[in-house]
Amino acid sequence: MGWIDVTLALSENVPPWPGDPPFNRQPASNMSAGDKCNTSRIEMSSHFGTHLDAPFHFLSGGQTVDNLDPDILIGPCSLIEHKPDRHIEPRDIEDKMPEGRKRVLIKTRNSNIIHDSTFHEDFLALTEDAAKWLTDAGVRLVGLDYFSIAPYKQGTPIHRPFLGAGGIAIEGLDLSDVSEGEYFLVAMPLKIKDGDGGPCRVMLHTLPFNVTA
């Protein structure tokens, strides 16, 4: 299989978080209008589309996106398929990854609506208990297939303890074409100085992952 891109393309078709600025890209110079090259002006929320939350998103004084540890952003990763039609509990994840695993992505029924241009408030996410379980288990990177790791309007009690323990959240992943298993993960957010988060390109590689030429 090789590399699998689990990133949504940045476009006006992706819904912004309610109340956040939407994505907007306008030509700044345009070859079809006689300019020498094509460039764009881009406007968006730092938490638009497939993006990463740095600890500073919920903790003043927390780590910012330009200072994240690459040892968390790159490495082996478990992908868990969550079948029940309810939020994620510790029992849904605890037996599904190798002990000591630092990175986990969870695919839910959200993957059926992740390409929808309207925002759905009834997406599935982590319960407080699941966020605590992940923190206690030493997981430092968690990714979900909708635009928050917390259920709608329950952001703080889930983000704050997880990010406060040095965790990183990746939200808005497109997991529709991947299935449960072990992968090698590369997640590279834009290096925004002092940033609370930012758009993130996320790739999975099937195992074994061998660097050759």
Binding site for Zn ion (CB under 5 A): 47, 53, 171
CB of 143 to Zn ion, least distance (A): 11
Residue 53 tokens read as 């939350």
Residue 183 tokens read as 């992968």
Residue nearest to Zn ion (CB): 47
Whether residue 51 lies in the annotated active site: no
CB of 123 to Zn ion, least distance (A): 13
**Of the two residues 55 and 184, which places its CB atom closer to Zn ion in the complex?**
55
HSE-CB at 74 with a 13 A cutoff on CA atoms is 7
> 47, 51, 57, 82: which one is catalytic?
57
Name the residue type at position 79.
L
**Of the two residues 47 and 102, which places its CB atom closer to Zn ion in the complex?**
47
**Of the two residues 127 and 195, which places its CB atom closer to Zn ion in the complex?**
195
CB of 147 to Zn ion, least distance (A): 7
Name the residue type at position 177.
D
CB of 66 to Zn ion, least distance (A): 16
**Of the two residues 17 and 183, which places its CB atom closer to Zn ion in the complex?**
17
Task: State the Cα torsion 21-23-27-32 to the nearest 10°.
Answer: -150
**Any idea which residue has 């992943």 for tokens?**
173
Q: Using CB atoms within 10 Å of the CB of residue 152, give its burial: 0 to 12 exposed, 13 to 18 middle, 19+ buried.
A: middle
| Residue 27, preceding peptide bond in cis (omega within 30° of 0) | no
Residues serving a catalytic function are 57
